[in-house]
Structure 1
Amino acid sequence: MGLGAAQADVPPRQKLIDGLFVRLQLAEDPETAVQLRAMIGEIWSHSGSPTGDLLMSRAESALRAANGEVAAKLLEKLVLLYPDWGQAWRRRAQSAIQAGDRDGAVLDLGKALSVEPRDFLAMRQLSELLRDAANKPQALDLLRRAAELDPQDPALAREVEELSREVEGRGI
């Protein structure tokens, strides 16, 4: 099988995301990067199923309303129905954080990253949890991976710089 055949096997959604990530890494200015980030997030926010999207909409409403019990039940259903949807795992991690279950959130964010290894939002959330758990070297590794994917994010660059100083100290 040639390269053309291998590319033909890549679903259109994945091709679109791949192209957006290339453009994000090559973005010449922060404004373009913001637009590309939003486009990637928009694609990730859809499960590919109207039922999944409706359940997610309800779960997000429950999260915003701090109705943790409802959100947790909806998100549990989502990860069971759509285990390959990284957004469901990331939102379930958010719900776990709201409920004070940081260990559960770490596990869910790890699952989100196993489903979508380029999920820079999951990397940042997991990094924050790891910093709080005094695992700063691993947190720094995640932030650096996120920065490689999104080099035009000034807030992310500052986070990497600050955590680098904490973990590695200042250079001479």
Structure 2
Amino acid sequence: MDDTELFPLLEALKNPDEAVRAEATQALWQIWFGQKGAAGLQTLQRAQVLLEAGEADQSEAVLSEVIEQMPDFAEAWNRRAVLHFVQGNYRKAIADCHHAIALVPVHFGALHGLGLCLASVGEYREAIQAFRRALEIQPYAIENQKLIFECTAKLS
């Protein structure tokens, strides 16, 4: 991914204007989903349709195949992490989040997801770290602020 394309969008996430942040957020998701062109996007969409139809195993197979073919496709890792999270397979989701973050360190969605997974397995300190990293990228993300508070309360 081209950092010159990402930098202005990442800066816009810090803008006090909610509309500017929303536009930047949408643009970043489009970049991540579109990283591998139309074919990659269609594969992610097919996996999502399968998941929504209750065909989680088939959805996972589609995502695993695209990951095998394109291991640098961060959003494929992130989508499979989401699938694992929905199924309650938190350790698998954590591993996939780590892959997505390794590929795209500013992937606020994967960082947020990592925090959710870590909190789900009771690793609250690590969850707080993930939510804080996500907040560094999206400082106005109130949900992450709220989750940090909840995880901190569980440590008390």
Match of 1:20 among 9, 31, 39: 9
- 2:153, 2:90 → 1: CA distance? 25
Corresponding residue number in structure 1 for 2:149 = 161
Q: Secondary structure at the match of 2:146?
A: helix
Amino acid of the structure 1 residue aligned with 2:59: A
Corresponding residue number in structure 2 for 1:93 = 81
Aligned 8 A contact 1:68 1:98 in 2: no
Match of 2:71 among 83, 86, 89: 83
Q: Does 1:57 align with 2:45?
A: yes
Q: Does 1:66 align with 2:54?
A: yes
TM-score by length of 1: 0.82
Q: Deviations over 1:35-80 (max 9, x none)?
A: 2111111111113333222211211111222211210111011111
Higher alpha-carbon Rg = 1
Corresponding residue number in structure 2 for 1:4 = none
- Could you say which structure has the greater relative contact order, defined with CA pairs below 8 angstroms and 6 or more residues apart? 1
Match of 2:26 among 38, 48, 56: 38
Runs of 4+ in 1 over 6 A off after TM superposition: none
- 1:100, 1:133 → 2: CA distance? 10
- 2:86, 2:144 → 1: CA distance? 23
Q: CA deviation at 1:20?
A: 0.5
Q: Does 1:110 align with 2:112?
A: no
User: Mind listing any 5+ residue stretches in structure 2 that lack a counterpart?
Assistant: none
Root-mean-square deviation (Å)? 1.8
Aligned 8 A contact 2:51 2:83 in 1: yes
- 1:99, 1:160 → 2: CA distance? 23
User: Mind listing any 5+ residue stretches in structure 1 that lack a counterpart?
Assistant: 1-10
Percent of paired sites with the same residue: 22
- 2:95, 2:44 → 1: CA distance? 19
- 1:125, 1:77 → 2: CA distance? 22
